[in-house]
C-alpha cells in the first residue's frame, strides 16, 4: 500500500510518514486540466486507490470555512471519490483549545510588531464549536459519503489513515466500510458515524437514532421534538448533549 502525499503539503508530513515506515510518494493530487485539488492524501496499490483524504488543522479549517473554500474542496473530493470508487475522508487535527491558545499568541505577535492597533480575543470555544457543528451538517448534506474523523495530531492522522487502507485492502469490516457494499448502505454507515462524531455519542447510540429516522437531515430537523430518552441507549446525559448541539444548529 503506497501513501501518496500532495506536493503542497508541509514537508514534515512526508518526513513523518517515512519515519513511521510507510511506503510514501510525493505527487500532485490534481486531475489534468482541473482547477481544484481533490485531496491531500491517497492510499492504494499502483493506480488503484482505496482512500482519499483532506487534512485540516483548526487554523486552516477556520479560515477555509470563512471564505467557503472548505465546502468546495470537500464536495470536489466527494465527486472524485465516487467517480473512481474511493472512500473520501476529512481528518481534523488538534483541539479547539490548542488552536485558541495559538491564535492568542499570533494576535499578540501581530500587536507587538505593529501590524494591528490593539490586541483582541479570538472567537470563544462555544462559537468555534458551533461553526464546526454547522460545517459537519453542510458536509453531510452536500457530500454524504465523506467520513469525518477528529484526531489529536499529524502522527495519529497518518497512522489512522494508513491502517484504514490496510483494513480495506484485507477486506475487513467496520468503519470505514469496504468498497464492495452498496452505495445506499455506505451512505447510511457514514451518516451513523457522523452523528456519533457530531453529537459526541457512541456509534451504537447513533445506530439506534438512525433506526428512528429516515436520514441524517430528518434528525437535524425533527430531533428537538423527540423524547430522546425513549431511544435505546440514550440516557439523560447523552440527551442533554444532543439537545444542546441541536439547539446550536437551529440558532
Evaluate if residue 186 carries a pLDDT over 80. no
d(CA 224, CA 47) in angstroms, rounded, equals: 46
Residue 210, C-alpha cell as written in the block: 438512525
Residue 30: pLDDT band (50, 70, 90) is low
Q: Are residues 152 and 42 in the same domain?
A: yes
Residue 195 lies in a domain: no
CA triple 24-27-33, angle to 5 deg:
155
Last residue of some domain: 148, 180, 212? 180
Q: Is position 194 within any domain?
A: no
Q: Are residues 32 and 133 in the same domain?
A: yes
Q: What percentage of the chain carries pLDDT values higher than 90?
A: 18
Q: What is the mean pLDDT of residues 145-155?
A: 87
Domain membership flag for residue 48: yes
State the average pLDDT for the chain: 82
At 105-117, the pLDDT tens digits run: 999 999 999 999 9
Q: Which residue has the higher pLDDT, 141 or 81?
A: 81
Q: Are residues 174 and 116 in the same domain?
A: yes
The predicted structure's pLDDT at residue 178: 46
Say if residue 246 is in the same domain as residue 130.
Answer: no
Distance between CA atoms of residues 248 and 241, nearest Å: 11
Q: Are residues 75 and 43 in the same domain?
A: yes
Rg from Cα positions in the chain: 19
Residue 118 CA: distances (Å) to CA of 108, 125, 213: 9, 21, 50
Task: Give the domain extent around 127.
Answer: 2-180
Lowest mean pLDDT, pick from 5-9, 13-17, 149-153, 168-172: 168-172
Backbone angles phi and psi of 221, in degrees to 5: -75, -40
38-79 pLDDT, tens per residue? 788 988 886 678 889 999 988 888 888 888 888 888 988 888
**Domain co-membership, 112 together with 73:** yes
The DSSP element (H or E) to which 27 belongs, if any, is strand 24-27
* Residue that has been written with the C-alpha cell 425513549 in this structure: 230
In a domain, 188, yes or no: no
Q: Are strands 2-6 and 147-151 parallel, antiparallel or unpaired?
A: unpaired
SS3 224: helix
Whether 165 and 208 share a structural domain: no
pLDDT-derived band at 32, boundaries 50, 70, 90: low
Same domain for 219 and 136:
no
Q: Is residue 220 part of a domain?
A: yes
Of 182 and 39, the one with more pLDDT: 39
Could you say which of 150, 180, 210 is where a domain stops? Answer: 180
- Give the mean model confidence (pLDDT) for residues 72-101: 87
Task: In whole angstroms, give the CA distance from residue 39 to residue 65.
Answer: 16
Domains: count for the chain: 2
- Max mean pLDDT among 6-10, 28-32, 35-39 falls in 6-10
- Which one of 134, 150, 180 terminates a domain? 180
* Domain CATH for 75: 3.40.50.10130
- CA distance readout (Å), 224 to 99, 220, 231, 241: 31, 8, 13, 12
Element containing residue 67 per DSSP (H, E): none
CB 144, CB 216: distance < 8 Å: yes
Contact in structure between 58 and 95 (CB atoms under 8 Å): yes
Model pLDDT, residue 55: 93
Residues 194-221, mean pLDDT to the nearest whole number = 80
Check whether residue 137 and residue 237 sit in a common domain. no
Same domain, 101 and 162: yes
> Is the pLDDT reported for residue 192 higher than 80?
no
| 135: in domain | yes
Spatial distance between the Cα atoms of 42 and 17, rounded to a whole number of angstroms: 13
Based on the number of CB atoms within 10 Å of its own CB, is 230 exposed (0-12), middle (13-18) or buried (19 or more)? Answer: exposed
4 neighbors 29 (Cβ within 8 angstroms) = yes
Q: What band does 199 get if pLDDT is binned at 50, 70 and 90?
A: confident
165-190 per-residue burial string, b: 16 or more CB within 10 A, e: under 16: bebbeeeeeeebbbeeeeeeebebbb
According to the model, what pLDDT value does residue 251 have? 67
Tell me the residue length of the chain: 251
- Same domain assignment for residues 142 and 60: yes
Look up residue 221 and give its three cell numbers.
430537523
Say whether both 114 and 225 belong to one domain.
no
Q: Report yes or no on 31 lying in a domain.
A: yes
Three-state DSSP class for 7? coil
Looking at residue 13, its pLDDT comes to 92
Amino acid at each position: 500500500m503506497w501513501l501518496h502525499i500532495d506536493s503542497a503539503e508541509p514537508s514534515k508530513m512526508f518526513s513523518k510518514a517515512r519515519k513511521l515506515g510507510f511506503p510514501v510518494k510525493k505527487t500532485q493530487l490534481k486531475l489534468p486540466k482541473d482547477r481544484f485539488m481533490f485531496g491531500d492524501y491517497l492510499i492504494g496499490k499502483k493506480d488503484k486507490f482505496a482512500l482519499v483524504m483532506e487534512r485540516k488543522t483548526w487554523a486552516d479549517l477556520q479560515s477555509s470555512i470563512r471564505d467557503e473554500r472548505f465546502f468546495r474542496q470537500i464536495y470536489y473530493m466527494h465527486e472524485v471519490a465516487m467517480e473512481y470508487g474511493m472512500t473520501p475522508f476529512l481528518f481534523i487535527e488538534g483541539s479547539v483549545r490548542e488552536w485558541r491558545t495559538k491564535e492568542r499568541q499570533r494576535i499578540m505577535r501581530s500587536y507587538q510588531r505593529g501590524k494591528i492597533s490593539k490586541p483582541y480575543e479570538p472567537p470563544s470555544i462555544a462559537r468555534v464549536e458551533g461553526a464546526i457543528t454547522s460545517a459537519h451538517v453542510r458536509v453531510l448534506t452536500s457530500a454524504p459519503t465523506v467520513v469525518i474523523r477528529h484526531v489529536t495530531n499529524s502522527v495519529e492522522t497518518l497512522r489512522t489513515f494508513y491502517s484504514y487502507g490496510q483494513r480495506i485492502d484485507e477486506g475487513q469490516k467496520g468503519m470505514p466500510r469496504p468498497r464492495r457494499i452498496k452505495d445506499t448502505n455506505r451512505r447510511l454507515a457514514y451518516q451513523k458515524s457522523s452523528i456519533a462524531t457530531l453529537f459526541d455519542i457512541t456509534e451504537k447510540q447513533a445506530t439506534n437514532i438512525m433506526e428512528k429516522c429516515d436520514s441524517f437531515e430528518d434528525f437535524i430537523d425533527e430531533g428537538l421534538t423527540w423524547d430522546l430518552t425513549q431511544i435505546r441507549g440514550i440516557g439523560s446525559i447523552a440527551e442533554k448533549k444532543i439537545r444542546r448541539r441541536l439547539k446550536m444548529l437551529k440558532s
